[in-house]
Structure 1
Amino acid sequence: MKAQVKWVDGVMFVGETESGHAIVMDGAPASGGRNMGARPMEMLLLGMGGCTSFDVINILRKGRERVTDCHVEIEAERAESDPKVFTRIHAEFVVTGRNLSLAKVERAVSLSADKYCSASIMLGAMAEITHSVRIVEDDT
């Protein structure tokens, strides 16, 4: 896997992936940025959220759960001094579907966190990561 990050201006950068996708990263005005893109540390949280959501959906589909929507709400705390690493991360999975099994959803989240999600496992080496699950019944 390869990626490239190119400096644009001030503290704005464009990241390009090997698969041909680009994303803008920028800093807050207080840091010399223009707030034109996500912060690099936000990108780490998004990466973790995408990685673990990918796993959870795949596990639930294989288990024949009738999932109609899924999102993960991530909240993180950082150290106060440099390097301002993540110290705590909480991910709440909100899974919508028909007659979903809470046990199966919790198992999917645990499997992702403990076995499959590379991003969660890497960040978990530095930060305490916790998870919760909320199921929403799809009445449509």
Structure 2
Amino acid sequence: MSHKVVTHWKGNLQFESDNPSGRLLTIDTSQENGGHNSGFTPKALMLSSLAGCSGLDVVSILKKMKVPFSDFRIDTFGELTDEHPKYYHTVSVEYHFYGNELDENKIEKAVNLSIETYCGVMEMFRRFADVKTSIHYHNS
């Protein structure tokens, strides 16, 4: 299976990128780097991709396991190298679950299945970064 994404320059440092589903997103950089801060930065998109990939896995697995939760958030942090080309050398992924009487064992199993088996973006990140994960439970 392959994917094709078309990224089109829109002027200055702004680009518009499509998705195999046809959706569009804007890529830009900060004003301090010459952009207009009008879209996602490429490196931040990488962190969003990581969180989205794993999040899709986790929610899908928890639904199949019939595990209730009221909210779910993933906080992703990346530490860049000092030298160019700058890339994430360390990444932390924090899974936050909210609800009443959260089933911590099943949630941990779902997160681990994503981290260790299903999330291809997580595997890609592991090729260049030290990836740390943690799970946080917020019982109401």
Same fold (TM over 0.5): yes
Counterpart residue number, 1:124: 126
Alignment of 1:20-59 (within 5 A): 20-59=22-61
Counterpart residue number, 1:110: 112
Tell me the amino acid that sits aligned with residue 34 of structure 1.
H
- Deviation above 2 Å: which 4+ runs of structure 1? none
Alpha-carbon RMSD: 1.1
Q: Give 1:64's match in structure 2, choosing from 63, 66, 84.
A: 66
Q: Gapped runs of 5+ residues in structure 1?
A: none
Aligned length: 138
Q: Gapped runs of 5+ residues in structure 2?
A: none
1:104 shift after superposition: 1.6
Q: Does 1:76 align with 2:78?
A: yes
Counterpart residue number, 1:12: 14
Q: Does 1:90 align with 2:62?
A: no
Return the TM-score normalized by structure 2. 0.93
Return the TM-score normalized by structure 1. 0.93
Q: Percent identity?
A: 27
1:11 shift after superposition: 1.1
Q: Deviations over 1:8-28 (max 9, x none)?
A: 111110011121100001011
Distance in 2 between residues matched to 1:104 and 1:24, nearest whole Å: 37
Distance in 2 between residues matched to 1:66 and 1:51, nearest whole Å: 20
The structure in which a higher percent of residues are strand is: 1
Q: Deviations over 1:84-116 (max 9, x none)?
A: 111111111111233222122122111111110
Q: Deviations over 1:13-49 (max 9, x none)?
A: 0011121100001011222101111101111110111
Distance in 2 between residues matched to 1:106 and 1:84, nearest whole Å: 32
Q: Secondary structure at the match of 1:87?
A: strand
Distance in 2 between residues matched to 1:128 and 1:48, nearest whole Å: 13
Distance in 2 between residues matched to 1:18 and 1:53, nearest whole Å: 19
Counterpart residue number, 1:2: 4
Q: Is the 8 A contact 1:90 1:130 kept in 2?
A: yes
